[in-house]
Amino acid sequence: MKNQLFHIAGGGIAGLASALAVANTGNSALVMEKAAKFEALGAGLQLGPNAVRALQKLGAWDAVEPITSSPPEILIRDGRSGKTLKRLELGKKFETRFGAPYRVAHRADLLQALLSVAKSKSNITIQTNAEVIARDIFDGYALIAADGVWSKTREALFPGHAAIISNDIIHRNLSDDVVNECVNLWLYPGGHVVHYPVGQSPKLNLLAVTQGTDVDAHFSMACEELRQILKHKSWSQWPAAYVPPLHRWNKGKIILIGDAAHGTLPYLAQGAAMAIEDAVTLGEVLALRKEPDSAFEKLSELRVQRTQKLHHSSRSAGHFYHLNGISAAMRNAIIANIPSHLQLAQMAWIYR
Ligand SMILES: Cc1cc2nc3c(=O)[nH]c(=O)nc-3n(C[C@H](O)[C@H](O)[C@H](O)COP(=O)(O)OP(=O)(O)OC[C@H]3O[C@@H](n4cnc5c(N)ncnc54)[C@H](O)[C@@H]3O)c2cc1C
């Protein structure tokens, strides 16, 4: 199909990536964002090779690449002892293996880069202060609902599929206290910590997951190094929410995409990557199918399995990171002893 107007609810990563996909097929996109301006909440994002490849396919990588940085390694560490359990190299060998690099970026920079590409296209219109009310009867050609994990469109299309708040609380902080250039993952009983630098004048993106509201109290038995990293930080807190798996994302000419369709716990750092992949598949089905409902049916069919697998794997990753006692000791032994190439092989289904 060509020369049709697709309405898009939400101007986050999924909404803007979808607009690019629609525009690339010779159709037009109207992005309606309810906020007054484009401001990304949160701080850092990891962009695995699958996210980079998807951005390349959308024609956005040239704009995105300059705002990313290249961490040399992922360090997996035990938060109690401070011991480094594994160093996963992210250099040339990694890039050759997965066909694209591993990058990190400030979320706001990624959003601005996508916005700049979208604005450069004459067939994309962007409106702010434009809330799409789900109960409105939609009488346009097709609606792509990229309205995030708390999607009202999802609740209208699939009643009973409200987002679920897990027991975990995510604490985020951005500071000047850059520790090293790596992606650092600290495993700890009942929680974990991730940090890496983002931005051109690097800031430390720090994320702590706990089951209570007090970060210092939760990590009171951590090694000195980790306690120093967490010390004197002012945190913004987020409930870790997810969407109960949906078997289909569309009803007729309305489809959910990104977190609205499959918002997941962020423990494999893949939510945005999945949203960008959704957009690539959207472009592919629009190029092949004549009617939006048939294209959306196919998109849902092609994407549900992968995103559900990711949902389950993210949840399992959380359990694994948060083990305690003898289970944690066994986990640490496994991580320390498994060769890096085998550990990366476990991630191949995601990165490829
Ligand atoms: C702590 C944390 C860390 C993460 N780290 C990573 C990571 O490292 N790598 C990764 O790939 N992913 C990561 N993610 C996941 C990633 O942030 C999300 O999957 C991604 O941002 C989802 O994008 P989205 O556009 O679907 O939703 P959102 O970013 O939520 O965007 C939805 C947009 O829709 C707008 N909106 C809502 N309702 C309406 C309406 N009715 N009308 C119009 N507009 C509306 C909102 O204002 C918003 O702009 C992380 C998530 C969290 C919580």
Residue 74 Cβ contacting ligand 1 at under 6 Å: no
Find the range with the poorest average confidence among 8-17, 131-140, 185-194, 240-249. Answer: 131-140
User: Does the pLDDT value for residue 183 go beyond 70?
Assistant: yes
β-bridge pairing 236-242 and 250-251: unpaired
Task: Check if 15 has its Cβ closer than 6 Å to any atom of ligand 1.
Answer: yes
- Please tell me the residue having the least CA distance from ligand 1 atom 2: 266
Q: How confident is the model at residue 290 (pLDDT cuts 50, 70, 90)?
A: confident
pTM of structure: 0.97
Best mutation site among 39, 45, 193, 350 for ligand 1 pocket (most ligand atoms within 8 Å of CB): 45
Domain tally for the chain? 1
Q: Is 259 near ligand 1, meaning CB less than 6 Å away? A: yes
Query: Is the pLDDT assigned to residue 85 strictly greater than 80?
Result: yes
Q: Residue 219 above 80 pLDDT?
A: yes
Quote the crossing angle between the two packed helices 340-351 and 292-321, to the nearest 10°: 150
Q: What is the pLDDT of residue 200?
A: 86
CA nearest neighbour of 48 among 98, 106, 2 = 98
45 ligand 1 Cβ < 6 A: yes
- Average pLDDT on 231-237 reads 94
User: Which residues lie below 8 Å from residue 77, measured CB to CB, with a gap of 6+?
Assistant: 83, 84, 85, 184, 185, 186, 187, 226
pLDDT at 95 over 90: yes
CA of 105 to the centre of ligand 1 (A): 15
- Nearest alpha carbon to residue 350 among 98, 11, 5: 98
Q: Is the CB of 48 under 6 A from ligand 1?
A: no
Q: Is the CB of 258 under 6 A from ligand 1?
A: yes
Q: Which stretch of 5-19, 104-118, 126-140, 222-236 has the lowest confidence by average pLDDT?
A: 126-140
Ligand 1 pocket, 270 CB below 6 A? yes
The end-to-end CA distance of the chain, in Å, is 29
How does residue 213 score in pLDDT terms, banded at 50, 70 and 90? confident
pLDDT of residue 137: 65
Tell whether ligand 1 has an atom less than 6 A from the beta carbon of residue 71.
no
Reported as type and span, the H/E element at residue 250 is strand 250-251
Atom of ligand 1 nearest to the CA of 260: 26
Q: What's the pLDDT band for 136 if we cut at 50, 70, 90?
A: low
CATH number for the domain including 47?
Answer: 3.50.50.60
With a 6 A CB cut-off, is 10 part of the ligand 1 pocket? yes
- How far apart are the C-alpha atoms of 207 and 266, rounded to whole Å? 11
Range of the domain at 201: 5-351
Mean pLDDT, residues 321-334: 98
Look at 14-18, 44-48, 208-212, 224-228 and tell me which has the smallest mean pLDDT. Answer: 208-212
**pLDDT at position 279 over 70:** yes
Report the separation in Å between the CA atom of 227 and the middle of ligand 1, taken as the mean of its atom positions: 29
